[in-house]
Amino acid sequence: MKLSQLIGGSDDAAVTGFAIDHRKVAPGTVFGAFRGARFNGEEFIEDAVRSGAVAVVAAPGARVEGAVHVSDDNPRERFAALAAQFFAPFPEVAVAVTGTNGKTSTVEMTRQLWRMAGHHAASIGTLGVTTADDRVYTGLTTPDVVTFLSNVAGLAREGVTHLAFEASSHGLTQYRTEGLPVAAAAFTNLGRDHLDYHGDMGAYLTAKLRLFSEVLSPDGTAVVWADDVEAGRVIDLARARGNKLVTVGTRGGTLRLVDRTPTLLGQGLVIEADGATHQVRLPLIGGYQAANALVAAGLVIATGGDVAGTIANLSRLQPVPGRLERAAIARSGAPVYVDYAHTPDALEAAIAALKPHAGGRLVVVFGAGGDRDAGKRETMGQVANTQADVVIVTDDNPRTEHPATIRAAILRGAPGAREIGDRREAIAAAVQEAGAEDIVLIAGKGHEQGQVVGDLVLPFDDVTVARESAA
């Protein structure tokens, strides 16, 4: 592709790729130089040009010499649009999911439901790039726009026709998923998270709503979990834009959840849709997993899926790694679950999901991440303290903070909790002390394969540690 094909003009320089990291620039690259919270990409323009950048997308005031300056007041958005032109084509159908909790489960369930309907489907998010054949871990809910678009284009070349991806608040704010036509966008819920980045809940919600105000195609469909307190904001926005609307939940108009009955290994759902009543045995535990499944079904229906067939396929959904994943059975017979819950709302939902199944005590092991929203730590402690029977506070990913400081903040909300800093020791204590009628919940890290301490990522997997403790 020639540069003139991307930006107009007469420059016939060959474009070979896109990069936002100057160290990845090669001859023919279009470099994106953005001002961020920690780094100013404009400081690396000279290095990028020296490495062969043919164009630099940057703000009007940036100094660019030796390459074409693509000037824009919103260089992130312009860069993403140009990158999309370069990497296209993409899968025929793409949907995005935003919300504080449930994004990962919802995109993966959407992928599964599409696959059951006969489509070649994939998902992108916290679990990585997932297809029916393989999974490649990326380590980010929403990767940078170059990685995202190149991955999406690669999936299309492999024959993927349907894609579901997570749209995090960071990703939406930083234009990491621009340029890809989005046929349907889903909203799961809003709870406290990432206030270290957004500042307050208003700014956090605004970031989420951008999926519906700018990213969703004008003729696309908004899929909304109608039971959330902020659902009305999304519904009003969709109606104002003229988007089609699919609402799900006990207040849903498209898929109405009439009844939910917990069973030993799942739950029975009664759903009303198109004037008919459907009964489904969902093989997943917890109210929030039912919510995620219904939102996924809504996305499938919004993109042409058969209503009755999609609802029936809910009974065939498989668990999502790290999301109320039953990791082990203790020697006593107590089941041990691992969940990614790392916010007050998510922890409360995970506890509520497991509590009805505990004949004895519900034992919860959790911590909180360092260098992240410190205000949620005491609240998480309060949630565990009031709703679990036994609470063990341990380390999560302390990052550059002192672990004891994080634990102390949690313990202010859970004064009766037990403190075991070493996560492996804390998990072992919970598993080995659990009685036959008890249930153990290990929360916070879910699918993660490492523990971030300082600048190091130490190998650590809650599921593996739980199984070793139960052996």
Q: Per-residue pLDDT tens for 279-307?
A: 999 999 988 899 999 999 999 999 999 99
DSSP string over 358-420: -SSPEEEEE---TTS-TTHHHHHHHHHHHH-SEEEE--S--BTS-HHHHHHHHHHH-TT-EE-
- H/E stretch holding 80: helix 75-87
The pLDDT of residue 233: 92
In contact, 207 and 213? CB cutoff 8 Å: no
Strands 55-58 and 68-71, by their bridges, are parallel
Numbered residues of the known binding site: 99-105, 141-142, 168, 174, 176, 372, 396-399, 444, 448
Name, in order, each residue with C-beta under 8 angstroms of 205's C-beta and a sequence gap of 6 or more: 190, 230, 233
Same domain, 183 and 287: yes
Same domain, 66 and 9: yes
Same domain, 312 and 338: no
Same domain, 398 and 427: yes
Tokens 């939940």: give the residue: 249
Helices 287-302 and 103-116 pack at an angle, to 10 degrees, of 50
Tokens 């523990």: give the residue: 451
Domain housing 124:
88-316
pLDDT surpasses 90 at 317: yes
CATH of the domain at 345: 3.90.190.20
Considering 12, 44, 79, which residue would you say is the last residue of a domain?
79
Length of the chain measured in residues: 471
- Which range, 94-108, 134-148, 178-192, has the best average confidence (pLDDT)? 94-108
Helices 376-387 and 344-354 pack at an angle, to 10 degrees, of 20
Residue 73 in tokens? 């007041």
Residue 468 in tokens? 């070793």
pLDDT, average across residues 217-239: 95
Q: How many domains does the chain have?
A: 3
pLDDT surpasses 60 at 193: no
Alpha carbon distance 121, 102 (integer Å): 19
Beta bridge partners of 58: 71
The pLDDT of residue 320: 87
Same domain, 188 and 270: yes
Same domain, 206 and 335: no
Considering 79, 109, 130, which residue would you say is the last residue of a domain?
79
Same domain, 374 and 430: yes
Same domain, 58 and 102: no
pLDDT band at 139 (very low <50, low <70, confident <90, very high): low
- Burial of 218-252, coded b for 16+ CB within 10 Å and e otherwise, reads eebbbbbbbbbebbebbbebbeeeebebbbbbeeb
Alpha carbon distance 42, 38 (integer Å): 12
Alpha carbon distance 190, 302 (integer Å): 22
Numbered residues of the known binding site for meso-2,6-diaminopimelate: 372, 396-399, 444, 448
Alpha carbon distance 84, 146 (integer Å): 9
The pLDDT of residue 201: 65
In contact, 239 and 216? CB cutoff 8 Å: no
Closest to 193 measured CA to CA, from 107, 106, 99: 99
Residue 114 in tokens? 């599409």
- Kindly report the average pLDDT of the chain as a whole number: 93
Same domain, 66 and 99: no
Give the Å distances, CA to CA, from 125 to 96, 105, 122, 463. 10, 10, 10, 20
Residue 407: what residue type?
Answer: R
pLDDT band at 225 (very low <50, low <70, confident <90, very high): very high
Tokens 């029916």: give the residue: 132
CATH of the domain at 250: 3.40.1190.10
Residue 31: what residue type?
Answer: F
CATH of the domain at 52: 3.40.1390.10
Greater model confidence, 335 or 38: 335
pLDDT band at 171 (very low <50, low <70, confident <90, very high): confident
Residue 32 in tokens? 């994106």
Same domain, 278 and 406: no
* DSSP class of 2: B
Displacement of CA 217 from its chain's centroid (Å)? 21
Same domain, 111 and 255: yes
Handedness of CA 202, 207, 211, 214 (dihedral sign): positive
Numbered residues of the known binding site for ATP: 99-105
Displacement of CA 175 from its chain's centroid (Å)? 16
Q: Write the pLDDT tens digit of every residue in 346-391.
A: 899 899 999 988 999 999 999 999 999 899 999 999 999 999 999 9
In contact, 33 and 75? CB cutoff 8 Å: yes
In contact, 255 and 298? CB cutoff 8 Å: yes
The pLDDT of residue 34: 94
Sheet with 135-136, strands from edge to edge, namely 135-136, 128-131, 121-125, 162-166, 93-98, 182-187, 216-225, 244-249, 255-262, 267-273, 276-282
Same domain, 142 and 284: yes
Alpha carbon distance 68, 2 (integer Å): 13
Strands 128-131 and 121-125, by their bridges, are antiparallel
Considering 79, 99, 124, which residue would you say is the last residue of a domain?
79
